[in-house]
Amino acid sequence: MKTRTTFDQTLSELKQEILRMGFHVEEAIYRAVESMAKQDVNMAQSVIDGDVLIDNLELEIEDLCMKLIATQQPMAKDLRRIAVGLKIITDLERMADYSCGIAKITKRLVGQPLIKPLIDIPRMAQLAQKMVKESLDAYVREDVGLAANLATDDKQVDSLHSQVFRELLVLMMENPKTINQATSLLFASRYLERIADHATNIGERVIYLVTGKREVLND
C-alpha cells in the first residue's frame, strides 16, 4: 500500500506539472496573437524569451516520468499513463514553438499597418487556447467525453483557417503590395490550425489511454 500511495502522489505531481506547462503554452498562444493584433513588439519578444522556460519544463517533466518509471516500475495502465504524459509534453512543446513562430511574424510586421483587421485569427487563438486547456483536463481526469468534444472545436478552427486563407489570397491578387504581409498572416493562421491539431492529438491519446481504442477525432 505504501508504494501505491507514493506512486499515486508522484503521478499526481506529474499531472500538475503537465497542467503547469499547459498554462504557459496557453499564455504563449494568447500573447503571440495579442502582440500581433496590437503590433506590440515587446509582448512578442516576451513570448520568444519565454520559450526556454517551456522547453525546460518539458525536460523536467521528461525526467520526472523517467524517475517515476525507474523507481516505481509501474505496470500496464499506470505505465501507459506516463507514456501518454511523455507524448503530451511533446505536443505542448510544439505548440509553444508555433506561438514563437507567430511572435516572430509580429516582429517582422511591426510598423506596417495591418492589411485587414484581425478578427478570425484571434478567434482561432481563443479556440486553440480553450482546446489546450480541455485536452489537458481530459488527460488529468481521464475524461473520454471531453476528449472527444475537441473534434468540434478543431473543425471550427479548420474552417476559420480555410476562410482566412481564401480571403488573404484574394487580397494579394487584388493588391500585390499586400503580398509580403498576407504571406506572413497565412503562416500565422496555419500555425494556429496546427496548434489545434496538437490539442486534438492529445484528445486521441486520452481516448486510447482510457478505452484502448485508437480513434481519429478530426481527419
d(CA 27, CA 35): 12
Nearer to its own copies, 30 or 197 (CB): 197
Classify residue 3 as exposed, middle or buried by CB count within 10 Å of its CB (0-12, 13-18, 19+): exposed
Nearest CA among 4, 22, 15 for reference residue 141? 15
CA 67 to chain centre: 26
Q: Does 66 bind its own copies (CB under 8 A)?
A: yes
Nearer to its own copies, 115 or 130 (CB): 115
Which of 62, 142, 158, 167 touches its own copies (CB under 8 A)? 62
Q: Does 112 bind its own copies (CB under 8 A)?
A: no
Nearest CA among 84, 86, 80 for reference residue 65? 86
d(CA 151, CA 173): 33
Q: Does 199 bind its own copies (CB under 8 A)?
A: no
In the stretch 125-164, what mask flags binding to its own copies with x, by CB under 8 A?
A: ----------------------------------------
Which of 41, 190, 210, 218 touches its own copies (CB under 8 A)? 190
Q: Are 25 and 132 a contacting pair, CB within 8 Å?
A: yes
**Which residues contact its own copies (rule: CB under 8 A)?**
59, 62, 65-66, 69-70, 73, 75-76, 79-80, 83, 86-87, 90, 94, 169, 172-173, 176, 179-180, 183, 186-187, 190, 214
